[in-house]
Amino acid sequence: MKSETNQLKFFKESIKSMKTSGSIAPSSKYLIHKCLKNVDFDKAEVILEFGVGDGVITEEILRKVNPNCKVIAIEINENLFEFSRDKFSEHTNLELVLGSAFDFDKILKDKGIKKVDYIVSSLPLSLFKQEEIDVLFEKIPEYLSKEGSYVQYQYSLGKYAYLKKVFDKVSVDFTLMNAPPALIFTCFIS
């Protein structure tokens, strides 16, 4: 029953803020697994998440991460932020931030963090203006450690060519077991 309530809450918030959520259903366990399969949770010191939503990816990150890793999760929707703040209140290595992922660099500077090992993003890139995307992806390689990666899931190949211009290597995975089916881009710098 609780899970149905969470899904209904996510659906209502997603409909109200489609431009920033980009989805009407939480990520499936299959999508979450594919997004996180290349994350070295034992060695990660800082993981940054763009777009917490209902926290299903955050929950899996927190379940797998080593206790010394700092997880910073940014959510722009105030209702989803409050929901996640309550849901994860006992996790001391999580810093949940109400704000825009486009300001992640300011958030990291305020926390004294110069590099992150992984960025996991559910941002709906196809719904943003190209100028906004350009500014975001100008900053991401600057903050990503060379051993880490940027993980982005989308529902189309629309930004694949763009990601290939920004990163040295982009691998693509796919899952039908999500509503809707999703592509997972894992991006690396050298």
| 111 contacts 95 by C-beta, under 8 angstroms | yes
- Radius of gyration over alpha carbons of the chain, in Å? 15
pLDDT digits (tens, 9 = 90+) for 107-148: 999 999 999 999 999 999 999 999 999 999 999 999 999 999
Provide the whole-model pTM.
Answer: 0.88
pLDDT digits (tens, 9 = 90+) for 26-50: 899 999 999 999 999 999 999 999 9
What pLDDT is attached to residue 25?
77
pLDDT digits (tens, 9 = 90+) for 143-182: 999 999 999 999 999 999 999 999 999 999 999 999 999 9
What domains lie within the chain, and their CATH numbers? 2-188 (3.40.50.150)
**AA identity, residue 22:** G
More confident residue, 2 or 40: 40
Kindly list the strands in the beta sheet with 144-154, ordered across the sheet, starting from the edge strand earlier in the chain. 94-98, 70-75, 46-50, 116-121, 144-154, 182-188, 169-175
On the question of a cis peptide bond just before residue 180, with omega within 30 degrees of 0, the verdict is yes
Distance CA 52, CA 85 (A): 10
Distance CA 151, CA 4 (A): 28
What pLDDT is attached to residue 23?
53
Phi, psi of 75, deg, nearest 5: -135, 130
Q: Which of 4-8, 82-86, 125-129, 130-134 has the lowest mean pLDDT?
A: 4-8
User: Residue 22 above 60 pLDDT?
Assistant: no
